[in-house]
Amino acid sequence: MSGSPRIVSIDGVRGVASLVVVVYHCSLIAMPHLDGTLAAWLTQSPGKLAFAGTEAVLVFFVLSGFVVTLPVLRVGFSWSRYYPTRVLRLYLPVWASLVLATVLIALVPRDQSTMPEGSWMRDAQAATVTWSSFLDEASLVPASYDINNVLWSLRWELIFSLALPLFVALAVAVRRHAIAAGVVACALTVAGRIVEMDALVYLPVFMIGALMAVRLDDLRVWMRRPRGALFWPGATIIALMLLIASWLARPIADAGSIASRALWGFAGVGAVIIIIAAIGWPRLSGLLERRTAQWLGRVSYSLYLVHVPLLSTLAYFWGADSWPWAIAVGFPASLVLAGLFYRFIESPAHRMSRFIGAAISQRVRSRLA
């Protein structure tokens, strides 16, 4: 495992998933203004894949379970270096995004009564920021976030990152039975959706990524086996349909019903298969290794953090009736802002976190010597 090369295609997966999240939040601005029939057609057809934002977050979680576990399995891994590096790598860009969001909220007043009742823009966007609300969201402790709406998922990333030794220990312990353990994890995330328990939905998804990491060599051997021409395309289509199964079933399974919640749980299974296909299917991995997908992967964390503050600010700036302007300008502007945020905030934050992590690890080793 120590010599495993970097899997470039999964960076492309991360990039595409981040773009899907941006499109999803654009759709939340637009949906209250669309005809009901059109909205139903968009959300209950394969077109939903273009803005399956919540489902795309599950892809992030599987990827985190996979890529964060891999270094632990290599010779020379240091927990004393991992913790400060990982925590700072998560928190520093988050704090910068909250400062950005706070500045934008201060510059562009937000009258929530001007937005459609029950809309995402009205109910999930902060109109003001206090020191208390800022520090609350900066801690990544709350379950919901209004200053920067996307931070709810970073809370789960933090929980997984802090509990990584438990995930790795369990994954190694059940290594020989990884397939059975993966099936159990999938069943748990489906059950979590049915009983509406977030921890049961998300933590098993991270676990599946960890299981993939401990069996990566065996997974690659399996991937190299001869397959029929339709195997990988078929697996990818199935994965994508599982990702949005609850939406496709809306005509017969109402939102909130047990059947709908169960199908939503299968989105985690779809996320896992998508990542396996991205690694194992040469044609798909080739697409994901192209320059555009790789650039999106590189700036994906920045794009994830900055797009909602920008989109919501533009929506309030132009007003509810001018929502197309917010989307038309906000989408490309989010990409530009993500590039700038990555260069001037995220990349320096990564270097700082690595430096601090190395310094702390060195001090710990010196004391133990």
Count how many domains the chain has: 1
Q: What is the reported pLDDT for 5?
A: 65
Confidence of residue 6 (pLDDT cuts 50, 70, 90): confident
Q: What is the pLDDT of residues 269-301, one digit of tens each?
A: 999 999 999 999 999 999 999 999 999 999 999
As to burial, measured by CB atoms within 10 angstroms (0-12 exposed, 13-18 middle, 19+ buried), residue 104 is buried
Diameter of the chain measured on Cα atoms: 69
Position 343 in a domain: yes
Domain boundaries, position 254: 9-368
Q: What is the reported pLDDT for 236?
A: 98
Q: What is the pLDDT of residues 307-317, one digit of tens each?
A: 999 999 999 99
Angstrom distance (rounded) from CA 47 to CA 123? 26
Position 3 in a domain: no
Which of 30-44, 203-217, 347-361 is the least confident region? 30-44
Position 231 in a domain: yes
pLDDT at 1 over 80: no
Residue pair 247/31 in contact (Cβ under 8 Å)? The answer is no
Q: What is the reported pLDDT for 103?
A: 98
Position 180 in a domain: yes
The CA–CA distances, whole Å, from 182 to 167, 172, 185, 273 equal: 13, 13, 5, 12
The residue assigned the tokens 């990152």 is 161
Position 233 in a domain: yes
Q: What is the pLDDT of residues 117-153, one digit of tens each?
A: 999 999 999 999 999 999 999 999 999 999 999 999 9
Q: What is the reported pLDDT for 183?
A: 97
Q: What is the reported pLDDT for 291?
A: 97
CA angle 280, 284, 285 (to 5 degrees): 65
Position 4 in a domain: no
Position 356 in a domain: yes
pLDDT at 189 over 50: yes
Angstrom distance (rounded) from CA 128 to CA 24? 24
**Contacts by residues 357-365 (CB-CB < 8 Å, ≥ 24 positions apart):** 357/81, 357/82, 357/83, 357/84, 357/85, 357/86, 357/88, 358/81, 358/85, 360/80, 360/81, 360/84, 361/78, 361/80, 361/81, 364/80, 365/78, 365/80
Q: What is the pLDDT of residues 169-184, one digit of tens each?
A: 999 999 999 999 999 9
Angstrom distance (rounded) from CA 54 to CA 362? 40
Residues 6+ apart with CB under 8 A from 172: 214
The rounded mean pLDDT for the chain is 96
**H-type alpha helices, 145-266:** 151-162, 164-173, 178-195, 198-214, 216-223, 231-243, 245-248, 258-265
pLDDT at 3 over 70: no
**Which of 55, 31, 56, 60 is closest to 43 using CA atoms?**
31
Position 1 in a domain: no
Angstrom distance (rounded) from CA 345 to CA 135? 19
Q: What is the reported pLDDT for 4?
A: 55
Angstrom distance (rounded) from CA 333 to CA 320? 19
Mean pLDDT of 225-236: 96
Mean pLDDT of 47-69: 97
Q: What is the reported pLDDT for 203?
A: 98
pLDDT at 2 over 90: no
